[in-house]
């Protein structure tokens, strides 16, 4: 299993766990620690394939279902990216408050790979509104998330 596959499986595991209202500690046992579960969810490459499979088993997920779940994740990512681009376009044509409303409605968590981009666009919106403190706060948050040591984030440039 390559690191991309492990990252995708980790994303699925995180979404399923959160959707079921489970904490890392709820899945942990004598065979797998909360730290290892977190590493799997973040796609840390040194985690063994067997541990990821064990976690899938604990969540009653089968390997045959993963491609469908991964495609759903990719589709959601593409939809969210389109939504971010449309918000940035609204900002560019002068509808800054509408853009901010779209961004607030998106409900992207800080763990989402698109979160640095969302904060970056929010920073641009607040810059356009000359709200310097909020602009600075959002730009800083975008940089902080894009520089996260987990390596799961990239600032998706909207060109």
Q: What is the pLDDT of residues 13-39, one digit of tens each?
A: 888 888 889 999 999 999 999 999 999
35 in the same domain as 11 = yes
80 in the same domain as 53 = no
Residues of the chain with pLDDT under 50: 3, 151-153, 159
89 in the same domain as 53 = no
Q: Tell me, yes or no, whether 154 lies in a domain.
A: no
Provide the pLDDT for residue 138: 97
Q: What is the pLDDT of residues 62-75, one digit of tens each?
A: 888 888 887 887 88
Provide the pLDDT for residue 24: 92
34 in the same domain as 57 = yes
Provide the pLDDT for residue 4: 52
Question: SS3 sequence, the chain?
Answer: CCHHHHHHHHHHHHHHHHHCCCCHHHHCCCCCCHHHHHHHHHCCCCCCHHHHHHHHHHCCCCHHHHHHHHHHHHHHHHHHHHHHHHHHHHHHCCCHHHHHHHHHHHCCCCCCCCHHHHHHHHHHHHHHCCCHHHHHHHHHHHHHHHCCCCCCCCCCCCC
Q: 95: domain range?
A: 72-146
Provide the pLDDT for residue 159: 44
Q: Tell me, yes or no, whether 67 lies in a domain.
A: no
Look at the chain and report how many structural domains it folds into.
Answer: 2
Provide the pLDDT for residue 151: 47
89 in the same domain as 56 = no
């Amino acid at each position: 299993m390559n690191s991309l596959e492990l990252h995708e499986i980790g994303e699925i595991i995180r979404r399923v766990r959160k959707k079921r209202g489970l904490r890392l500690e709820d899945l942990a046992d004598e065979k797998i620690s909360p730290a290892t579960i977190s590493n799997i969810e973040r796609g840390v490459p040194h985690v063994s394939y067997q541990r990821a499979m064990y976690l899938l088993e604990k969540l009653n997920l089968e390997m045959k279902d993963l491609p469908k779940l991964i495609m759903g994740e990719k589709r959601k990512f593409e939809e969210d990216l389109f939504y971010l681009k449309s918000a940035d376009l609204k900002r560019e044509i002068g509808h800054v408050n509408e853009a901010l409303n779209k961004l607030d409605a998106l409900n992207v968590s800080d763990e989402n790979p698109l979160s640095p981009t969302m904060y970056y666009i929010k920073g641009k919106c607040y810059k356009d509104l000359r709200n310097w403190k909020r602009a600075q706060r959002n730009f800083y948050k975008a940089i902080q998330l894009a520089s996260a040591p987990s390596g799961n984030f990239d600032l998706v440039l909207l060109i």
